[in-house]
Structure 1
Amino acid sequence: MPKPAPFTPKPAIEKLPLAVRKDVRDNFENEKEDLEKQVNDLLGNEYKFKFNPNEIWAYNESSGSTNCGSIMKNYATGFIYCLKYYVEKYGDEGKDHFNGAVSQSEISVGVNTLGDKAPTISCEVRDGVFWILFHPTSLGYNCDYIGDAMLAAIEAAPCEGLSLRAKHSVDEDYESKIDELQEELGKLIGMPDVTLDPNWDENFKALKEGVKDEGWQTSFGRAVFDYFEGFKSQLGYQGFKDDEMLQEGLADVFSSKKIVLRVLPKIKKSYNEAVIEDGTVYLQTTPSNWWVNVSQTGEGFIDLL
């Protein structure tokens, strides 16, 4: 069966009808400065809407319609609507990621070259420009439906360190409660100055390389917290609370007073394990068993002492 022909974009209209040009002037160009200011206020940067009506209007399928400027404005206001939610959720980190990815500080609209396979609306970052993409037969539809695609577009751009989704989870599900857990664990083992090291960057890198489904990023902070909590619970089950013999035995081999979580390609046990190396306790798991049976973290730890 022959392959379908690749999508070929339509050529730009050489000269738009007067009524269409008037609509572009009245309903987009006259309001563009205010629209750009709204974006700049949200992102703290000088952004420009660079929409080409001659290219966009080539996909108009409504005979006799002239509302090109209104449609362009709808794409701009739809973008701003979704951007507000993005900034509210991801804050300054989100702004930094956005500005870093969209290095040209431009927002454009164009046809999706997937052709018939394209969604009604989507977006991507290409060569530092944020592109709002429409299906070839769906110009002007669902202009404010790029919320989820916006995050994916920004995160697809190369970036060092944790993703926005992962950072958001760390802030929401880890930072707000880890101090209390660390204090409880210190009391349990008789070491009030024990520290928990989540090893964020290395573990994120290992998971990103080893797990195809990126859904784990939205729960990254919660999962790391659960490993430390599981270890604390295991030590409680094994009788460390108020047992000076066990606490002294741990102190003899735990000189760093640091507990580190690390993701490795392979470990000896099935799901996770605890080991002691050079005075440091390591809680270990693999990408394929990430966030699996975390309540067993540290099972049999007493046998290491």
Structure 2
Amino acid sequence: NFTFFTRLINHHVSLASCRETSSRRAEEQYVLVSQVKYSVTDHLRVRDDWENKREDFQNKLSDVLGTEWTLKDISPIALYPYAEEGYAKERLGSCIENYVDSAIYNLKYFIERYGEDGKSELNSICHAHSLIIDLDDRPEGERVSYCGVIVKEGGVLAIVFSERNLGVNIGSALETQGLLSALNAAPPAPGSAAPMNFAARTSVRRDYDLQIEETRKSFADMLERPDIVLCPNFEANFEKIKAAAEKKGSEVRNDWEVNIGAFTRMYFEGLRSQMRYQKFDDDDMLREGFNEAAEKGEIHFRIVDKMAYATYGEVVLDDGLICLQTQAHNFGTNVDYAAEKLLDQL
């Protein structure tokens, strides 16, 4: 080892910094890095395979995400102690290059699927705009099997690997499902008051907001009430379902977050279908009865703790409101029949 690497070690992980932050993880990393046997050949390979290409990859990443991102926090000297014999140890620079190249490819696919809104969400949640590679040191039950992705404290997007698996399954490190899970689990960006996670917000944006006006207009035409309002109560319902899903033995379906927009829209569409079947659009008396019951001009969907009379879904009148409702564990079940007792309620 030569003097350059001593300076590099001190630059990346100083013991003084460890003491200042009282970080056990940083101290452990300092010990590991201090013991690195990093030869001139290793340095040359890292330089040729990664350091000389870093800026180009950084520009590619920034272009894909539409704003300036950095790769400067990826530290070969800090990763080297985790490299097992073979590819990761012999060609660490190439290993890093492949991680980053794969990440950029997967991010392109993510943006193709989730569009500009998804890109904006990712940039907001990962507000440090820094991509790193690091050991997954979370509690054992939460760690990845080989590699994956998390959003670390401070809004840093991290490709993580499990112990002895640096360089294994590189291509799947930032695949879409793992990235979605990471964005869902991440805290909101500073200054953001968004109560729903990324999956739910995306579902509302794609599966509700873009289509619900046509549904609302059909109610307005049927009831001859142009100002009728549909109230999805997304934030309150999200909190209700989330709380139920976190309970031991929960029966809440595991895909509720990604379907909250579509299912909510379908409850309103189910009411519309029942009203058409019962001829509300042709019968003045039925129309008048509905409008009197819905004196506030609002149709709500809500998650409740206790049902009034049905099992899966129901419609009730509540203080001048028409309310479609279900319980958290039945959300998304038999949505078309939630309003079948509408005439009885009127």
Which digits, 9 at most, give the CA deviation of each residue in 1:245-273, with x for residues without a partner? Answer: 11112222322221111112222132222
Unaligned runs of 5+ in 2: 1-27, 189-193, 247-252
Contact 2:36 2:80 in 1 (8 A): no
Q: Give how far 1:164 is off.
A: 2.5
1:58 counterpart = 2:87 = no
| Residue 344 of structure 2: aligned partner | 303
- State the 1:193 CA deviation: 3.2
TM-score (norm 1): 0.88
- Would you say the 8 A contact 1:125–1:154 is kept in 2? yes
Per-residue deviation, residues 78-126 of structure 1 (Å, max 9, x unmatched):
1111111222222333233323332333222122336897411112122
In the other structure, the counterpart of 1:292 is 333
Q: Which moved more, 1:200-209 or 1:165-174?
A: 165-174
Please say if residues 261 and 283 of structure 1, whose CA atoms lie closer than 8 Å, have aligned partners that are also in contact: yes
* Alignment-derived partner of residue 26 in structure 1: 48
Shift in CA distance, 11/300, structure 1 to aligned 2, threshold 3 Å: same
Partners of 1:55 and 1:298 lie apart in 2 by: 60
Are 2:264 and 1:224 equivalent residues in the alignment?
yes
Of 145, 150, 154, 1:124 maps to 150
Alignment counterpart, residue 261 of structure 1, candidates 301, 316, 321: 301
For 1:4, the equivalent position in structure 2 comes to: none
Mapped partners of 1:118, 1:257: distance in 2: 50
- Larger mean CA deviation between 225-234 and 112-121 belongs to 112-121
2:136 paired with 1:136 = no
Report the alpha carbon displacement of residue 244 of structure 1 after superposing the two structures with TM.
Answer: 0.9
Q: SS of the counterpart of 2:314? A: strand
Q: Note if contact 1:112-1:135 (Cα within 8 Å) is conserved in structure 2.
A: yes
CA separation of 1:247 and 1:183: change in aligned 2, threshold 3 A: same
Give the residue type in structure 2 aligned to 1:26.
D
Match of 2:24 in 1: none
Gaps of 5+ in 1: 1-7
Q: Any conservation in 2 of the 1:271–1:293 contact (CA below 8 Å)?
A: yes
Q: Which residue is 2:14 aligned to? A: none
2:306 alignment partner, SS class: coil
Q: Hey, what's the Cα distance between the residues in 1 that align with 2:272 and 2:153?
A: 48
- Residue 171 of structure 2 aligns to a residue whose secondary structure is coil
Identity %: 31
Question: Which amino acid counterpart does residue 161 of structure 1 have in structure 2?
Answer: P
In structure 2, the residue matched to 1:5 is: none
Paired with 2:67 and 2:104, the residues of 1 have a C-alpha distance of 14
Q: CA deviation at 1:69?
A: 0.8
Residue 81 of structure 1 contacts residue 144 of structure 1 at CA under 8 Å; is this kept in 2?
no
Distance 1:91 1:298 in 2: 35
Map of 2:183 onto structure 1: 154
Once the two structures are superposed, residues 256-294 of structure 1 have per-residue CA deviations (whole angstroms, 9 ceiling, x without a partner) of 221111112222132222222332211111111101111
Give the whole-Å Cα distance in 2 for the aligned partners of 1:57 and 1:186. Answer: 65
**In the alignment, does 2:301 pair up with 1:274?**
no
Which residue identity does 1:105 align to in structure 2? H
Partner of 1:68: 92
Quick check: 1:94 aligned with 2:118?
yes
Q: Is the 8 A contact 2:300 2:321 kept in 1?
A: yes
- Code of the aligned partner of 2:76: P
Normalising to structure 2: TM-score of the pair? 0.78
SS in 2 for 1:16: coil
How far apart are the structure 2 equivalents of 1:161 and 1:115?
28
Instruction: Using CA pairs under 8 Å that are at least 6 residues apart, name the structure with larger relative contact order, 1 or 2.
Output: 1
Could you tell me which residue of structure 2 aligns to residue 40 of structure 1? 62
1:1-44 deviations in whole A, cap 9, x for unaligned?
Answer: xxxxxxx8781243511111111111111111111112222323
Matched with 2:8 is none
Q: How many residues align?
A: 298
Opposite residue 93 of structure 1, the aligned amino acid is D
Equivalent position SS for 2:53: helix
Measure the CA separation in 2 of the matches of 1:289 and 1:219.
13
Q: Secondary structure at the match of 1:123?
A: strand
Partner of 1:203: 237
My pick for the range that moved more, 280-289 or 139-148, is 139-148
Instruction: Provide the C-alpha distance between the structure 1 equivalents of 2:344 and 2:94, rounded to a whole number of angstroms.
Output: 71
The Cα shift of 1:186 comes to 2.7
What letter is aligned with 2:78?
E
